[in-house]
Amino acid sequence: MDDRRGLTADPAVRVAVRAFPTVPDLGALAAADGDVVWLDSSLPPDAPATAHARARWSVLALTDGPFGARFRHEAHRADVEVSPASRRWFGPSRHDDTPAFAALDVLLGRTPALPEPIAGCGFALGWVGFLGYELGRESGGADRTADGHADADLRFTDRAVVVDAGGAAWALALVADAEPEASAANRAWLETVTGGRMWADVDDVPPRLPAGAVATGRVTRTAYETAVDACRAEIRDGNAFQVCLTTAFGLVPAPGLEARCESGTDAHLSEYLRLRALDPVPFGAYLRLGPLRVASRSPERFLRIEASGAVAAEPIKGTRRRRVDPEEDAAARAELAASVKDRAENVMIVDLLRNDLLRTAVPGSVHVDRLCDVETYASVHQMVSTIGAVLPDGASRAAVVRAAFPPGSMTGAPKISAMAIADRLEGAPRGVYSGVIGYFSASGAVDLSVAIRTLVTVVDDVGTVRSRTFGAGGAVTWSSVAADEADEVETKTRSVLSGLGAVARW
C-alpha cells in the first residue's frame, strides 16, 4: 500500500534503476543542456555527527525526459504543462486561477505511486523545484507576487541521479508499460548516463567576480536599523514576539559573465561549484529553471516527511561567524550556546512550528527531539532544534506544507502578525529567498530546505543577466540592538558573497 494516499502502486509503472560503476561528477552532469534541479548535500570533515544523516543523499534531477511535466504559479495563476506520455496521470496542459497549494495537491494526487527504489533514500522520482515566499499569501501573508520570476516552479522529473555520501550512486528512470516508446528512451538514457557518455565539461577553475566587487543593499544600513527599531516598537505594543526582518543586495554581473552565458556555458553553475567547494552544507542546491539560476548554500531543513508519515522540522535561529583562531572560534561557539537572546529566538520558532505541525499531525504526536543544539559548519556556528510529528494515513503532503508555510524561521511569531509587520517594513517581495527548495517524491516522501544564503539570478532568453539578488536578515526581538542586527546581516552575506569575490555594502 502507498502510505501517501492509501492507494496500491501500479506495477505497470515503476522506477528502473542502474548503478554507476564509479561515483559520477554531478557538477558535470548538471552542465548538460536543459533545466536541472541539483539538491546537493555535503559537509566539512569536522561536521557534527547529527548533521551527517541529514546530508547523506544528493539528487540531480533532469527535467527533459519523455514523461516530464511542469507546474508554475505566477501572477496568481497556475500553469501546468504536460508531455504526451504523462497525460494519463496529469491530464492536459492548462492555465487557470487555481491557488498554488490546491493545484499542487491535485498534481500530487495524480502522481503515480512508486516505492522507494534505494533503501534509506526517500526520493523515487517526482516533483522537484522551489516554492517562493510569496505563496505565504495563501496562509495569511501579504498579497504579493515575486518580481521577475514565478512564485513557484516544480518539475515532474522522470530521470535522476542519486548519490550516497558513502560514494554509491544510481541512475533512476521512470518506465510505464502503456508508454513503450517513452520507456525505451528512458532505458536507453540509463545505459548512456551510467556509461559516462552524457557528462559535459565544466571549468577546472570556476569564474569569480573581481576582488572588491560590491553587492549594493536595497536599503541603507541606517534604514535597516530604523526598521529594526520599528519591529521592536511593534513587539513592545504586543503585536509580535519576534519578527524576521530581511533585506536584499543586488550584484552587478562579473565582466564576461553575460558573454559566457550567451555562448552556451553555464557560468552560474561554475560559480556554484566554487561556492560549494568553499562552504559545504547539508542542503545546498543549484536550480536552472527557465529564466532562473538559483545557487543556495542553505544549512537549514524546512520539513522532511517520510513515506510512512513521520515528519521532522529543523529550524535554525542563532548564528555566529567562524573565526580563524581556534580559541576565538571556540569562544564564539560557546557564546552562541550560552546566549539567552538566541535561545529565546529559537524556542519561539520551535513553539511556532509545533503549532504549525499540530494542524495536520496525529493529535499528541508532536514532540521536540532536540532544543537549541549548536552545530558548526565551514563558515558559521548555528543553533538548531528538531521537532517531530506523525501524519494520519493518507494525509495530503501539500496541505502539510501549506500549514507550515512560509518557514517559521523566516517569519517570526505569531506568524501572520509577524509577516504583516515585515512586509510593511521591507516593502518588496522576497521571491525564492525565504521560500523552500526540494522534492515531493512519488513515494510520498518530501524533503525541503529553507532558501537562505541563496543567490537568485534572472536571465533573458539569450542568457543576458537581468538581475542578481542575495537576501539576508535576522530575527528581531525586544532585546535586539539595531546595530547588532545589521552586523548579523553582514555576517550572513559572507558565506556566499565572499566566494564570488564580492562584499556587501549598504
Q: Which residue is associated with the grid cell 514523461?
A: 67
Provide the CA 378 distance to its chain's centre, in angstroms: 19
The better pLDDT of the pair 375, 430 is held by 430
How many residues make up the chain in this entry? 506
User: Residue 436 has what pLDDT?
Assistant: 98
Mean pLDDT within 95-124 = 97
Band of the pLDDT at 46, cuts 50, 70, 90?
confident
Query: Can you list the alpha helix ranges (DSSP code H) found in 160-266?
Result: 180-194, 221-236, 257-262
User: Quick check: 229 and 185 in contact, CB under 8 A?
Assistant: no
Q: Give the model confidence (pLDDT) of 198-207 as tens digits.
A: 766 665 545 5
- Given a cut of 50, whether residue 2 has pLDDT beyond it is no
φ/ψ (deg, to 5) at 276:
-70, -30
325: amino acid identity, one letter? D
The answer to whether 321 and 82 have CB atoms below 8 angstroms apart is no
Q: What percent of the chain has pLDDT over 90?
A: 81
What is the per-residue burial (b if ≥16 Cβ within 10 Å, else e) of 378-404? bbbbbbbbbbbbbbeeebbbbbbbbbb
- The domain ranges of the chain are 13-505
Picking from 118-122, 175-179, 261-265, 275-279, which range would have the lowest pLDDT averaged per residue? 261-265
How many beta carbons lie within 10 A of that of residue 174, not counting itself? Answer: 29
Task: Please give the grid coordinates belonging to residue 59.
Answer: 539528487
User: Which fold does the domain 13-505 belong to in CATH?
Assistant: Anthranilate synthase (3.60.120)
Contact 97, 138 (CB under 8 A): no
Long-range CB contact pairs, 109-112, < 8 A, 24+:
109/5, 109/396, 111/156, 111/440, 111/442, 112/9, 112/10, 112/13, 112/176, 112/442
C-alpha gyration radius of the chain: 22
Q: Is the pLDDT of residue 380 over 70?
A: yes
Identify which has the larger pLDDT, 491 or 308.
308
Exposure string of 458-487, with b = 16+ CB inside 10 Å and e = fewer, is bbeeebebeebbbbbbbbbbeebebeebbe
Q: ∠149-150-154 over CA atoms, to 5°?
A: 130
Asked if pLDDT for residue 262 goes beyond 50, the answer is no
Residue 471 to residue 459: CA distance in whole angstroms: 18
Dihedral of alpha carbons 501, 261, 75, 156, sign? negative
> Cα angle vertex 366, ends 363, 370, to 5°?
170
Mean pLDDT score of the chain: 92
pLDDT of residue 266: 81
Q: What digits encode the pLDDT tens for the residues 445-463? A: 999 999 999 999 999 988 8
Terminal CA-CA length for the chain: 55
Where does the pLDDT of residue 260 fall: very low under 50, low under 70, confident under 90, or very high at 90 and above? very low
pLDDT at residue number 378: 79
**Cell numbers standing for residue 472:** 539576508
